[in-house]
Amino acid sequence: MPPHAYFVVSAIFHYLGPAFAVLLFVRVEPLGVAWLRIASAALIFALWRRPWRVWRVLDRRTRWLLGVWAAVLAVMNSLFYLAIDRLPLGTVAAIEFLPVVALAAIGTRTGRNLLALGLAVGGVYLLSDVRLVAEPLGFAFAAANAVLFALYIVLGHRVAQSPHVRGIDGLALSMLLAAVVAVPLGAVDAAPALLDPIALAAGVGVGISSSVIPYVCDQLAMARLTRNGYALLVSLLPATAAVIGVVVLAQFPTILEVLGVVLVVAGVAVHREAPQRQS
């Protein structure tokens, strides 16, 4: 399959899973759903890849890379669920990409990247102008999640292109570690689902659709695309989230929110990162 096809699958499931998670919030608290997502994905990866066999032969530097990526995954997913419990899915998705564009503008100071940053900032401003007064805490969670999302992309590229571990095996190891990191964050809230077969099955479904399918497709796409090529495709994600929010959750955006998402999509599409150094 071409790398773009992997990305299309990832783009659909990246926010389809969280949309299902929002529906599950009536049975399980957001942090509990986040832990069920991570833990179920970790279990599936463990059965599929048996990542502990790879861990034994890794060097210390690669282990640290996977450990940091695991911590980012655990905290990022928890913050994301706290954010979508308070804000529309499309709004949270748009905010996610502001640090990505800002880092590119700082790293490569070109007119193109300054334009991209202006578009993204303008889009997030429109979104915040609509929602910030009503849900300041939701915006705080979304902003923290956005910073970690930028870090997730950077670390994900390093894992995908690492000569010491295959991308999916690295993902499996990190997800297993992330489930442990997330225990103090959401295990207590997830406990009621263990006695509710419907909630437990739904939590596993969220894990498969949110963390297994899209993350595997991300690794397959990242390994075959340049960082700039991947970043261009990523610009579709805020729009994808907005559409899924409408279809699954009936979160119909206002005209200003639609314009805000469009500006963020344009900003992410326009920006370019610094060329990667050859080692």
Neighbours of 262 (CB within 10 A): 17
Could you tell me which residue, 50 or 223, shows the higher pLDDT? Answer: 50
**Residue 275: pLDDT above 60?**
no
Per domain, the residue ranges of the chain are: 3-270
Give the lowest-confidence range in 97-101, 136-140, 212-216, 268-272.
268-272
pLDDT of residue 274: 58
Please state, in angstroms and rounded to a whole number, the distance separating the CA atoms of residues 209 and 37: 9
Which pLDDT belongs to residue 232? 66
pLDDT in tens, 203-252: 999 999 998 998 888 878 877 777 666 766 777 788 888 899 999 999 98
* pLDDT digit string, tens, across residues 146-181: 999 889 888 888 887 788 887 688 889 999 999 999
Here the tokens at position 103 are: 């880092």
> Helix 136-160 vs helix 98-107: angle between axes, to the nearest 10 degrees?
60
pLDDT number for residue 164 = 84
* Mean pLDDT taken over the chain: 86
For residue 132, the model assigns a pLDDT of 65
- Cα gap 132→279, rounded to integer Å: 44
Q: Binning pLDDT at 50, 70 and 90, where does residue 278 land? A: very low
User: Measuring CA to CA, which residue among 146, 174, 210, 169 is closest to residue 68?
Assistant: 174
Does 279 have pLDDT greater than 50? Answer: no
pLDDT in tens, 24-33: 999 999 999 9
More reliable by pLDDT, 120 or 17:
17
| Range in 5-19, 58-72, 154-168 the model is least confident about | 154-168
